[in-house]
Structure 1
């Protein structure tokens, strides 16, 4: 029997992790779009979200695709193009529901219940497609220079109004006191490394009860709840880094989590979907604070 979507995707990520590969840390290639860092994009320029980001990044790395743009066979055809013969599609998924009528044992009445599930379909990278309009293949405008990128990142995190403190040699989020602790700026290899690390810690910051109220029941280092929260922060910071044009920071201390992540993913085939969904919510929440800051300034 063909493996379900949850199993297929989880098995792929587990396989990568068993080889020590965190796919989300190497999702881009400098050959396309002048090296611009981005999330995978649909044919209309809309970015993919959640688990689909991980899957398409993984495929791009594995198969050497530099272009970030993907489309279905039908979409390519509608654009007057065609997928090259023999090319293999890549899996993406979307959430759907099926309605079932079940007997409520307490009331004895039949009730309709919506059951969520994932459905998959195939997309192709534009490098697998011939005859597309030129702009699908064109090198995009150069990415922002380092000074502009860092200025953008500084404004982004300032707009969150998070309590960010500096000192010591550790980066962490203190949930009980609700602040982010960062080593001094000068302690980092470069500015990009600093902001990539800050992206990780501010993803943790979103878990507070007065924000997204994310709680996996973590009690001690290495337990399942701890591993899930760290996985959410890893993925969330990678999504933010892509949006900000930053390269994710490869923190060696986080390599220690791989064993815990493997245990969680092997025990629950839906865990990576849950983590990616929470990571997307965290990134969206932080992005939403940018709009709020702009609205507050306009109203002042």
Structure 2
């Protein structure tokens, strides 16, 4: 269910204030200003705890939110049209999932992505285009450059297209050209967007996609700028139309075919490098190709070191795209250039560089010479790429958008969208809404290795407060430079010593009677600052001898890591928590993004997240903290052969709580074996659904839970227990007045 559909579904329901506040949080996170402004207006005007919702003006279900608009719109064509005459609307998720599945299936089936784009006809460029307008297809429409085939399971994947003429036409364009479509020809989709103008006041309502019609409406009603600011909402909607390959048509006329050169057009490639305005410093030292952000240097071996000139230029283009991420150019997060074991951020930056190199090779006409080299390079990190694509269906499109931007920068073709969607000003709340409606999350404090410990400096805890975007990234890079660690002492209350009644005489202290008579009277339990998580976990005892282990197991994309961040947040408000994030580097942008999303600022000072490179690093983290989260067990086994939960965690340390992630293979087995997993006191599993918002975690074993385990399911996306019957606000009685209002 999209955010718009979730909002529209409230029509006619009785909901609580908290339901609207949660919806506002989602809307602000997705930058969906249409919904956030309307919910804020309701929360400002009405102070009751229960509401009967009546929506007269539903939100367009296929409207793009702010985040999606930033990703897609710069690379898509804008087509104004009448609202009632529009073609097929399509949801952003449908596009993301379709393209992401194509990419994943292609990598699995072919082993790499089919970069080759070459044809024999009259095309002068290296990208397919519209037959009439001669505009190239970019952005989400890049897949038109490839053919789609299906495997034995009917999964689609991409293959190089054997074009004769690199053109597509709509059916109307075929008829206008007096050509004929061959029988059995299949259509392909072209994604575009149109902009809805939605004017809604007390006495005027008007909605259209047509710029001229809206202009006429404004003039006819003498609307002022203040009227538009108050009552007008503009938001983009994705749609598609069908096109057919020119090769599938008879009777089309084409420009005379130009003979392709047999030799590599190296002059064109060199011209791109020479035309790069404000480039990094070029050096030729040693035998490594790299871009160094700290000194803004691009180093290349000499051209003689390469087996062909084309490989030299494709490598140069790769590093040049990296260089566009510098702060003085496009200001990307360049932590991904540190090749630290295939983290998500590294995979993202490398994908940007490789796609950008493909675009530039295409521009210079050498793409077909460098495809195989590129494919071999991609194979070295395809596993990480698939992991990221599985976790984020926007990953490839975000990278391709950044790559297009980078190659345009090198070519001097900075693109500004002609139909820029203006960001609407956020209206300040008249009265404060209970937290956490508006909150700024600081980055987690990363504890560095130091020989001496210094007192905490409260100033550094607010290092990123109030910063966003490029400014935040800049401060993060500065802050990541080596500094003395901030050491926060545990705020958890120490477990009191057990009081044992002394009995004189010769007594067998091993008898159960003696132990029962002298059992501890002051057993403590871990305090979990999240009602539903606390109910889900039960009362986990704080042991004085040995430790408690919780195992968390699931397959790829089941949101295990996101669940761990929620557990960290729930525990870090009362205990010192050490996060051994080995799968995802603790200084990557992906890690910071999850920290911002799930961690409360009050908890950050009690979270330590150093880089774990050895068992000794883990040992220090364990001894310095009360709760330790290890992601993942298989990575620890790679560091220390024979690593086991029971002997290396539970029995080795006293009074600790361990939460350990186990990766599940496609056949349902545990990486590292199931024995260690079931050595845990609490065994949790994640269940992956086709809709990630339905992913949940359930309990297979829990020594500390008194409730039936099969009745406990925790929804990871919505951060709450799944009840058999959804919670609903009680029907208002005469004492609790029912309030009806209209959302306009």
TM over 0.5, yes or no? yes
User: CA shift at 1:62, angstroms?
Assistant: 5.4
Distance 1:264 1:280 in 2: 20
**Superposition map of 1:205-216 within 5 A:** 205-215=323-333
Q: Is the 8 A contact 1:196 1:241 kept in 2?
A: yes
Structure number, greater radius of gyration: 2
Work out the CA distance in 2 between the residues paired with 1:162 and 1:144: 32
Q: Which residue of structure 2 aligns with residue 284 of structure 1?
A: 408
Distance 1:230 1:111 in 2: 44
Could you say which residue in structure 1 is the equivalent of 2:351? 231
Deviation digits for residues 238-268 of structure 1 (CA, Å, limit 9, x no counterpart)? 1111111012352434321211111111112
Give the distance between the partners of 1:129 and 1:190, measured in 2 at CA: 39
Q: 1:195, CA displacement in angstroms? A: 0.8
Considering fraction of residues, name the structure with more helix.
1
Cα offsets for 1:117-137 (capped at 9, x unmatched): 5433322111111221243xx
Unpaired runs of 5+ residues, structure 1, are: 102-109, 291-300
The answer as to whether partners of 1:71 and 1:126 remain within 8 angstroms in 2 is: yes
Question: 1:141 maps to which residue?
Answer: 258
Asked if residue 16 in structure 1 is aligned to residue 133 in structure 2, the reply is no
User: In the superposition, relative to structure 1, how do residues 222 and 120 fare at CA in structure 2: closer, same or farther (>3 Å)?
Assistant: farther
Cα shift readout 1:159-210 (whole Å, capped 9, x = no counterpart): 2143222232222211111121112211111111111111111111111111
For 1:259 and 1:38, how far apart are their aligned partners in 2? 29
RCO higher in 1 or 2 (8 Å CA, sep ≥ 6)? 1
Contact 2:145 2:161 in 1 (8 A): no
Q: 1:207 to 1:83 in 2, by over 3 A?
A: same
Contact 2:289–2:299 (CA under 8 A) maintained in structure 1: yes
Partner of 2:274: 158
Q: Give the counterpart of 1:71 among 158, 164, 169.
A: 169
Unaligned runs of 5+ in 2: 2-89, 149-158, 200-229, 415-744
- CA-CA distance at 1:19 after TM superposition: 2.2
Between the aligned partners of 2:412 and 2:366, the Cα distance in structure 1 is 19
Mapping 1:183-222, distance limit 5 Å: 183-215=301-333, 218=336, 220-222=340-342
The answer for the alignment partner of 1:88 in structure 2 is 186
Q: Distance in 1 between matches of 2:407 and 2:186?
A: 31
1:255 is the counterpart of 2:379: yes
- Contact 2:293 2:334 (C-alpha < 8 Å) held by counterparts: no
After superposition, the Cα gap between the structure-2 partners of 1:50 and 1:239, relative to the gap in structure 1 and judged at 3 Å, is: farther
Task: Determine the structure 2 residue equivalent to 1:39.
Answer: 127
The alignment yields a C-alpha RMSD, in angstroms, of: 3.1
Compared CA separation, residues 288 and 22, structure 1 to 2 (3 A): same
Could you tell me whether the CA contact under 8 Å between 1:73 and 1:82 is conserved in 2? no
- Partner of residue 297, structure 1: none
Pair 230,111 (structure 1): closer, same or farther in 2 beyond 3 Å: farther
1:215 Cα deviation after fit: 1.9
The alignment of Structure 1 onto Structure 2 pairs a total of residues equal to 277
187-196 or 211-220, larger mean C-alpha shift:
211-220
Residues 95 and 62 from structure 1, CA distance in 2 versus in 1: closer, same or farther, beyond 3 angstroms? Answer: same
- Are the aligned partners of 1:24 and 1:235 in contact in 2 as well (CA < 8 Å)? no
